[in-house]
Structure 1
Amino acid sequence: MNVAIAAIKTEAETGLMEAYSAARHSLPGGRAISAARNEAFDAFALGGLPHRRLEAWKFTDLRRLVKDAKPIAPPPDAAAFEAAARAGQDLGGLGFRRISIVDGAFAPALSDLEGLEAGVTIRPLASALAADESVLSCDIGPVLPANEPTLLLNTAFAADGAVIEVADGVVVERPFHLMFVTTGAAPTAVYTRSLVVLGQGARATLVESHEGPEQSDYQVNAVVKVELGDDARLDHVKVVREGNAALHVATLLADVGARAHFSAFGFLVGGALVRNQLFVRLAGVETVAELSGVSLLAGRQHGDTTLSIDHAAPGSTSRETFKAVVDDAAQAVFQGKIAVRQQAQKTDARMMSRALLLSAEAEVYSKPELEIFADDVQCGHGATTGTLDDQLKFYLMARGIPAKEAEALLIQAFVGEVVETIAHEGLREGLSAVTLAWLGERG
């Protein structure tokens, strides 16, 4: 006798199924996009929300942590636009080209789309979906796990975002600022997908920021896919300053061509539960990737940085440096994997994770990995976790610096080593100011 075993769905998983059933016919896209959405959601429904039995989600069990599925955010109204216009003040004076996404919808009225350089186009993802373009494709090779749950959800639900395209040889002097703002006190779910394509020899800087209201347990699922042609360069800086009760899950997909240079810096200072996952494929010869980040966590925040970088061609170089400062009962997670394919001889890859614990209740989980199939490589990884150096603190206090200020100076120096790697001077100074503000709020 054969007995069928049905998987038990959580309240959140059931809510997601109901939400997709209600929204699927109103989501933008032609026949091909609709088929891609249905296929993605069917795959998600089979496995459900990620949980600790999945190795990549061992330390961030969404099935346990996500209690319910929020309703999809409605189109922004006048009040939402007014709230979004006040957002991004920290970066507003740096002269970036602002591209606003409000409650998941591209907002031309709040975006700076005039005077684009020749060869640069910026358009809503919704228009590309309506034309049935294959903008929901996320294939970047084996570096991306099959049926990644949160990416499947994004593919199913994403209705808007931005498509930025830079033609061959174009150098964009003014940085793009993709600003994602969630408004309103009522908890909602926001799904966005953005695509950044740089042609051969093109150069640009992309700043990505996320923010929303305090005390609202809204949910964000954001995906940014980057495609770099040969000899191109992109500097990407992401700042997460979500509200203190928000859930933020984001995926960066990067496919990097030959002799290209890709740098990505992540700065996390807000949100109740944040997971930033990066999947990077170095597909061309002599490619350079620099991935780094800083997480400032306090209260009961949970910050997870998970990355996988695939060296798929000879002579590529990668450097990964991530630091976390963890206070109170917060948790920091770092999972990093470097894979070197058999054909990727002469690879040079180094990865380091460092964490600073400021309280006895703070927790850090670190899991660096190397997977090497080539025999002529230089690869290494490391991880450290510790507390403030009492001798250095005493040295500062002995010179008349109060204890709290001495701690702040040591923490600032710990973080500043990574922040200083940001090429844009104004951005460096802005994030240093955010760090000082965070230190000033410590009890």
Structure 2
Amino acid sequence: MSQIPNVTPMRTTAENQLLELFPSVRARLPGDAASREKAFGAFAEAGLPHRRVEAWKYTDLRALLREAAPLADGASAAALAVAGSSMGPIAALGGLIAIVDGQFAPTLSDLGALPTGVEVAGLADAMGAGHPLLSRLGASITADDAVLALNSALMSDGAVIRVPAGLKPSQPIVVRFARTGAEVRSTYTRVLLVVEDGASVTLVETHEGPAGVAHQDNTAVEILAGDGCVVNHVRLNASGGGGVDLSSLGVRLGADASFATLALATAPALTRHQVFLTFAGERSKASINGAALLHGRQHADTTLVVNHSVPHCESRELFKHVLDGESTGVFQGKIIVAPHAQKTDGKMMSQAVLLGDNATMNNKPELEIFADDVVCAHGATCGQLDDDLLFYLRARGLPKPDAEALMLQAFVGEALETVEDEAVRAVLESVVEAWLKARM
């Protein structure tokens, strides 16, 4: 009887480059080498995700990523000068933590504006010093995901943030990710936010970069919220039109906690934002929202998994896509209700407006319910702008581009209204207005 030979899968150019990248930079990466080796082994076994991986069905990264960029060397003096000269409006909203070209930049940060009691450390320094909170790194993310494994293997810097129990600052904490230079480089960063019992905080991420430069970024943000916490999170991605942006948000909520997040994307050529949220305590609530404004051949993927592992919790998801040109939107949402998670209330909605015949929207909402006393629902809609309403606005003197912009602003505004901080919401609204103005 003949033996079946071992089958070695073919590697793409990008996969081979990533497999060569880790050994070449391993010596200069901070922290525990064993955990990095384990994470890299998981990536090496899985390879880049492709369409046969169900969670990546509509974003075949193996086909889309032709080459893997070298790891950024960190922020030079010139890069810091460039980043310092282009501060956006969000940077002035609160205490600022700057990460430039994948490296924590204390000289561009405004740590003095952070509320008294909030502790911040650069991730690389924290790893070198054995920071006690690093024992909780990875606690919010349980997904078996190759992109997350790659982040864990190659993360070079970021931030560790602690909000002590009972603290309720009025201003947000802003983490600014800035990219500089025309040379294509990759970054792998991680932010860990630990919010202790009874505390409240707003965390804002802003991602910026030069237009037309195909930077490759893999960012992971973990939020661990204790009992009775109120956490608001906003992510703004306007990082230049030519890049690849892979981001992961992991959230773990204690009992009687409240969490809200909104992600707004307007710029990268390819973006994938994945959310993994686990209810670890009863009577908690989560609101997960997003909006993507796409044109040309941009591709934006939002994939989320909400794990109701305990009873009496509520989740709400609302996502808006505006698709122009030949752009592609993807929404994959899954609500999982464990067998003992009775009295779960979960609702999920994805809505898309297609502005051209060549735009594409892929929706895949899912419910996995193993309990019987629950209220869960999902829905998805795709369509064009309402012709009757458009005619109504034009009949009152508005030119067609202005009428369309007004309707689209109202459409996206429903998602932006979930942001409680008025100053942050105003900045997001101005980003939407600028995108609509450019389209006009």
- Normalised to the residue count of structure 2, the TM-score between the two structures is 0.97
Name the counterpart of 2:122.
124
User: Which amino acid in structure 1 is aligned with residue 102 of structure 2?
Assistant: G
Structure 2 counterparts to residues 339-418 of structure 1, below 5 A:
339-418=336-415
Name the counterpart of 1:137.
137
2:24 and 2:72 mapped to 1: Cα distance?
Answer: 13
User: Which amino acid in structure 1 is aligned with residue 27 of structure 2?
Assistant: H
Please, which moves more after superposition, 70-79 or 195-204? 70-79
- Partner SS, residue 108 of structure 1: coil
* Cα offset, 1:308, TM superposition: 0.5
- Partner SS, residue 24 of structure 2: helix
Could you give the per-residue CA deviations for residues 241-260 of structure 1, whole angstroms, max 9, x where no partner exists?
Answer: 01111000000000100000
Name the counterpart of 2:98.
100
Paired residue for 2:435, among 428, 431, 438?
Answer: 438
Name the counterpart of 1:78.
77
User: Which amino acid in structure 2 is aligned with residue 107 of structure 1?
Assistant: A
- Partner SS, residue 333 of structure 1: strand
Check conservation: 1:179, 1:210, Cα contact below 8 A. yes
Check conservation: 2:143, 2:276, Cα contact below 8 A. no
- Partner SS, residue 270 of structure 1: coil
1:42 and 2:41 correspond: yes
1:129 and 1:87 mapped to 2: Cα distance?
Answer: 30
* Cα offset, 1:87, TM superposition: 3.2
Could you give the per-residue CA deviations for residues 360-417 of structure 1, whole angstroms, max 9, x where no partner exists?
Answer: 0000000000011111111100000000000000001111111111111111111111
Distance 1:314 1:179, change over 3 A: same
* Cα offset, 1:112, TM superposition: 0.8
* Cα offset, 1:132, TM superposition: 4.0
Check conservation: 1:135, 1:195, Cα contact below 8 A. no
1:118 and 1:168 mapped to 2: Cα distance?
Answer: 12
Could you give the per-residue CA deviations for residues 17-76 of structure 1, whole angstroms, max 9, x where no partner exists?
Answer: 1110101111111xxx21110011011111100000000000000100001110100121
- Partner SS, residue 111 of structure 2: coil
1:13 and 2:15 correspond: yes
2:414 and 2:261 mapped to 1: Cα distance?
Answer: 15
Check conservation: 2:159, 2:191, Cα contact below 8 A. yes
2:218 and 2:136 mapped to 1: Cα distance?
Answer: 14
Number of aligned positions between the proteins: 436
- Partner SS, residue 174 of structure 1: coil
- Partner SS, residue 129 of structure 1: helix
1:251 and 2:248 correspond: yes
Name the counterpart of 2:6.
4
Q: Which runs of 5+ in 2 are unaligned?
A: none
1:407 and 1:234 mapped to 2: Cα distance?
Answer: 35
Check conservation: 1:136, 1:155, Cα contact below 8 A. no
Distance 1:145 1:75, change over 3 A: closer
1:127 and 1:196 mapped to 2: Cα distance?
Answer: 16
Check conservation: 2:140, 2:222, Cα contact below 8 A. no
1:269 and 1:338 mapped to 2: Cα distance?
Answer: 26
Could you give the per-residue CA deviations for residues 165-191 of structure 1, whole angstroms, max 9, x where no partner exists?
Answer: 011111122210000011110000000
Check conservation: 1:81, 1:102, Cα contact below 8 A. yes
Name the counterpart of 2:88.
89
1:348 and 1:5 mapped to 2: Cα distance?
Answer: 46
Q: Give the alignment's Cα RMSD to 1 decimal.
A: 1.3
Q: Which runs of 5+ in 1 are unaligned?
A: none
User: Which amino acid in structure 1 is aligned with residue 49 of structure 2?
Assistant: P
1:387 and 1:226 mapped to 2: Cα distance?
Answer: 37
Check conservation: 1:87, 1:181, Cα contact below 8 A. no
Distance 1:135 1:82, change over 3 A: farther
Could you give the per-residue CA deviations for residues 200-223 of structure 1, whole angstroms, max 9, x where no partner exists?
Answer: 000000000111111211100000
Name the counterpart of 1:311.
308
Paired residue for 2:425, among 425, 428, 432?
Answer: 428
1:61 and 2:60 correspond: yes
Check conservation: 2:175, 2:204, Cα contact below 8 A. yes
Name the counterpart of 1:169.
166
Please, which moves more after superposition, 183-192 or 68-77? 68-77
Check conservation: 1:128, 1:135, Cα contact below 8 A. no
2:233 and 2:434 mapped to 1: Cα distance?
Answer: 23
2:147 and 2:136 mapped to 1: Cα distance?
Answer: 14
- Partner SS, residue 275 of structure 2: strand
Check conservation: 1:159, 1:192, Cα contact below 8 A. yes
2:212 and 2:414 mapped to 1: Cα distance?
Answer: 32
Distance 1:78 1:385, change over 3 A: same
* Cα offset, 1:428, TM superposition: 1.5
1:333 and 2:333 correspond: no
Could you give the per-residue CA deviations for residues 232-279 of structure 1, whole angstroms, max 9, x where no partner exists?
Answer: 111000000011110000000001000000101010111000000000
Check conservation: 1:71, 1:188, Cα contact below 8 A. yes
User: Which amino acid in structure 2 is aligned with residue 237 of structure 1?
Assistant: V
1:220 and 2:226 correspond: no
Could you give the per-residue CA deviations for residues 282-308 of structure 1, whole angstroms, max 9, x where no partner exists?
Answer: 110000000111110001100000000
User: Which amino acid in structure 2 is aligned with residue 22 of structure 1?
Assistant: S
2:59 and 2:174 mapped to 1: Cα distance?
Answer: 29
Name the counterpart of 1:52.
51
- Normalised to the residue count of structure 1, the TM-score between the two structures is 0.96
Check conservation: 2:95, 2:115, Cα contact below 8 A. no
Name the counterpart of 1:153.
150
Give percent identity, aligned residues only: 45
- Partner SS, residue 42 of structure 2: helix
Distance 1:65 1:305, change over 3 A: same
